[in-house]
Amino acid sequence: MALNPFTQFVFDLFILSAIIITAYTCNFYYLAYLSRSRKEVIDTTEMGTPSITIQLPIYNEKYVAKRLVDAVCTMDYPKEKMRIMVLDDSDDDTVDLLGTIVDEYKKHGFQIEHVRRGTRKGYKAGALKYAMQTTDTEYVAIFDADFIPPNWFLKRAITHFAKPNIGLVQCRWGHVNENYSAITQAQALSLDFHFLIEQKAKSNSHLFMNFNGTAGIWKRDCIEDAGGWHTATLVEDLDLSYRAQMKGWKCVFLPDIVVDAELPVQMNAAKRQQFRWAKGSIQCALKLLTDIVVKRKVAIETKIQAFIQLTRHIVYPLMLVQFLALPILLASNMNLYVVSFIPALTIATYLAMGPGAYIMIIQSMYHKSWKSKAKILPALLVYNAGMSVNNSVAVFDAVLGKKNEFLRTPKYGIITKEDDWRNKAYNLPFTKMTLLEIFFGVYGMIGIFISIFSNNPIFIPIIGLQTVGFFYIAYMSLSHTRFKRNKSSKTRILSKSEKMANTVYRLSMVGIIAIIVFGAVMAFNGYNSDIYPLDRMRGHLDGIIGSSDPTIIQSHLVAIKEDLAIVLDNLPDNNKNPVWIFPTESTNFLRIETDVNTLVASIEKISSIPKDSSAYHTGMMDISDRALLIKTNLMDATPYMYVSISNVVFSTIWIVAIIGIFAALKRKKEQFKEIDDSGI
């Protein structure tokens, strides 16, 4: 049966997205195979204690800065061979805190500097670039503020520069607060997939691997040969490591050297981190892929894998395309089963390609402890699904060339479950992204109803997973919002204002939840009155097409006329056509009503004809053809019923109400900023 152009376009998008997503998924499984099939051979050699500079880029990290400096200064390495550069771009209490700590360690004979360049130009990359101007040691180690390197780190890691072409050793991230919450557990599992599968596979082969920005050691000659730190992207680490490997340097991953770090505990902080990684990766793709493709010395497989790694975040927009398309296709009565006559194989295929394969990978990663990690997988799936809005916006930001701003991921020194971050500085409010997440969550609920009423319940888990993810991320973004000013010296002055802001926030959150519930109820009622009658009519038409009993056909027609009356009552009085612009007769419900009445008259005539006559069989074939034509017309009209005038008006009011609440919160945030800037 031919599809109308709109449905055909949506179907093509759906299939294309599915193919691309499947390709990226299969590539991850290929890397999982490489990480196990290729024997890990990491050469080491006794190198003594070569000179090394430890660079610590820091910006407003008063809760973790001392912990980092203390950990670095307790390393088992000769003081005269270890230079420490605290690259402090802070503009809050962190400056004084670090000044005191650095002065104290200087008194104990450490070569430690408190570097203040007086600007944040280039952000972290700018700070590292500035530091390299005065770095003269053979090696450079880098640690972000939330890391806690062990005291044996340098002596163990430095031995892996056995070959002269090794320019970087990247160590594995540990998670000091992995069990703090479901959010941190999901992040930890995701990072372990990256390090123990992707990084391991690439390190053990000729594929390009990336520096993760911290917990690694560079050979200074490698940094300089690759062109130094660039500030054009948000992921300077990925940029530099790829340029180094294009120059012939080798990057090595050390899975057995683990450096603990603090995972983001606030949802808005985690979203900011994910946004930066996604946007920066696409920026690097736009910047580097052409050079990688034309580079003759780079193997074909390496080029392919570089393309996949740099562009892999496009999976998130494609996930949204599929999510938006699926309910439309189900409402259009499209058959989307993997095997049309065995619907259960559809969900089995999804499970095999997704959770099933991931559980096998978890078994290979964690061995005896795999069961405890497998329990976290559902949380990771929900987390990743919900993050697709945040990361999709990041991808579009990069493609459209939106101006870069390196927004740090705040950390609070959280280690145990008893530690609290809610009343500390650096808390982030939710953003406009949350509005989009709420929209997709409500759309998902409508999609679930469509799956039920279109007799496609097999797709409910697929739509439901993403719907839960959107609502979860939105809810956590709202519930983790706190209006707390970053400059603690002024907290007492504005405590009353902060309380007022938190009251406004709580009331706004209640309002948003009320609007969501109201919108869900109205969407259900709208579907029940506008779309579900069409689904029932198509079902009855299927019954007519498959029957040759006049009595059964007449009962179907009675039910069709009842549903048709409901639809006609909900359409404009002028033409009873749901298409606003360029309406056609195929979607004119007055014509459909006439065709149904013709069927009623025809079946009444046929019922009086002997069943064994040729006239009877000819008449039944004509009824079947007419029923099929009416069904086709209903399928053409169904997508337009979603965008009826009443639905558009209601949706507009619904969106305006939520935007109004966001605007009120934004005004409150701007008031705090004005007070901070004025110095009151």
Q: 3-state secondary structure string, 364-426?
A: HHHHHHHHHHHCCHHHHHHHHHHCHHHHHHHHHHHHCCCCCCCCCCCCCCCCCCCCCCCCCCC
Taking CA atoms, 257 is separated from 158, 431, 509, in Å, by 11, 37, 44
CA angle 237, 90, 51 (to 5 degrees): 50
Q: Is 542 a catalytic residue?
A: no
Q: Which residues of 474-494 are buried (b: 16+ CB within 10 A; e: fewer)?
A: bbbbbebbbbbbbeeeeeeeb
Q: Is 92 a catalytic residue?
A: no
Of 367, 407, 372, the residue nearest 390 (C-alpha): 407
Kindly name the residue from 89, 144, 192, 535 that is annotated as catalytic. Answer: 89
Residue closest to 460 by CA, chosen among 444, 436, 442, 441: 444
Beta carbons of 43 and 162 less than 8 angstroms apart: yes
Pairing of strands 166-175, 216-219: antiparallel
DSSP 8-state secondary structure symbol assigned to residue 195: I
Residue 84: strand pairing partners: 54, 112
CA distance 614 to 635: 32
Q: Is residue 416 exposed (0-12), middle (13-18) or buried (19+ Cβ within 10 Å)?
A: exposed
Catalytic residue among 88, 146, 192, 237: 237
Q: What is the largest CA-CA distance in the chain?
A: 111
- Report how far residue 588's alpha carbon sits from residue 565's, in angstroms, rounded to the nearest whole number: 14
> Phi and psi at residue 522, in whole multiples of 5°?
-65, -40
Q: Which two tokens stand for residue 630?
A: 């009416």
Residue pair 322/21 in contact by the 8 Å Cβ criterion: yes
Q: Which residues are catalytic?
A: 89, 237
